[in-house]
A and B are shown apart, each in its own frame.
Chain A
Amino acid sequence: MKLLVILGSGGLTAQMRLLVELLGSGNEYEFVLNDNDLLSAGKVNGKIYKLLNNRIYGEPKLVHVYKTVFDFVESFKILRESRAKAVISAGSGITLPLFIAAKLLGKKTVFVTTWCSVNQPSMASRMCYRFSDLFFVQWPELKKHYPKAIYAGRLA
């Protein structure tokens, strides 16, 4: 089946690459990147879509909101073009607009909280929890924040 995988800075891309390797070559993968990500594209094989990075530290909150709305509209175009069955993310900022659009289009959403969240939920995981069909934590301590979360080990 076709899966749309959301990449992010540094470790988020690394985790998604590991997950794609585990999910195996029986699936087809397409990827969504931040527009200012210069490194991730070279690390994956598959069609690439881009969205505006709506979490650039230091940009005013209003800019974050504007970009998120813009990304939400763009997400419909990406999801329609991609026709992926599900969207998978470890939580970059563009996850929220993509997940909401995916749910409205009847797609499945899978969220894996980042391996660096041991005790404190990340902002992305707090925002995307209610829009996630499947929600994983990578440290068991985090389950107390998320009743429906699954702990199924860690990517590393």
Chain B
Amino acid sequence: MIFVTVGTTYSFESLVEEIDKMASGLNEKVIVQNGRNKYLPKHCQYFDFKASIKEFIMQADLVITHGGAGTCFEVLSMRKKMIALANPSVHDNHQEDLLKKLCAEGYLVWCKDIRELPVLIRDRKEMRPYQAPECTIHERIMGFLK
């Protein structure tokens, strides 16, 4: 199963339109988290929001996602194959910055041009497992406030 997610904050119509075009030609189930998109897919199952998308990531063989950090980190922590795209509706390029960094470190496949998507889906490369840098933010906060 391929799970496609566009997040909750911005619409990302072009990704879902493209996936919808490809869906019937792909020999597997496609489920789309469609968020705020006005475009509704005709060839794949979809929903707008769920309290958690963990179960869909868990069941997927491949996750195709917008460049939202939270989603990317969630998918990385679940060790799933991922293709990520920066959302052009986001009004600065912080998504690109993040994807460029994570791609350069070998953690995910960054699709820079939506026309590359069919080939990337076909190839679905497995990237190196992500290790989060140790977090001591909470310890510093408690130490400071006590």
Contact = CB atoms under 8 A, between A and B. Distances in A.
B43 to A, nearest CB: 27
B51 A43 contact: yes
A43 B140 CA distance: 25
Interface stretch (B19-27, B57-65, B115-123, B127-135): B127-135
B133 A150 contact: no
A86 B140 CA distance: 14
A156 interface: yes
Contacts of B142: 23
Contacts of A86: 145
A-side interface mostly? loop
A115 B133 CA distance: 12
A134 B98 contact: no
Contact of A39 (B49, B69, B144): B49
B113 interface: no
B137 A136 contact: yes
A11 B8 CA distance: 9
A149 to B, nearest CB: 12
Contacts of A122: 94
A83 to B, nearest CB: 14
Interface in A87-127: 88, 108, 110, 112, 114-120, 122
A62 B76 CA distance: 41
B29 interface: no
Interface in A18-66: 19, 22-24, 39, 42-43, 57
Given A1-B145, A114-B69, A152 B97 contact: no
Most-contacted residue by chain B among A24, A115, A118 (CB, 10 A):
A118
A17 B7 CA distance: 17
Interface of A: 1, 9-11, 14-15, 19, 22-24, 39, 42-43, 57, 85-86, 88, 108, 110, 112, 114-120, 122, 133-134, 136, 139, 150, 152-156
6 contacts: A10-B7, A22-B135, A57-B91, A116-B98, A118-B98, A156-B69
Interface of B: 7-9, 49, 51, 68-70, 73-74, 76-77, 91-92, 94-95, 97-98, 101, 132-142, 144-145
Given A1-B145, A11-B70, A133-B144, 14 more contacts: A10-B7, A19-B137, A19-B138, A23-B141, A39-B49, A85-B145, A117-B97, A136-B137, A136-B140, A152-B139, A153-B133, A153-B137, A154-B135, A156-B73
10 tightest A-B contacts by CB? A156-B73, A153-B135, A22-B138, A116-B69, A11-B70, A14-B70, A10-B9, A9-B9, A152-B136, A153-B133
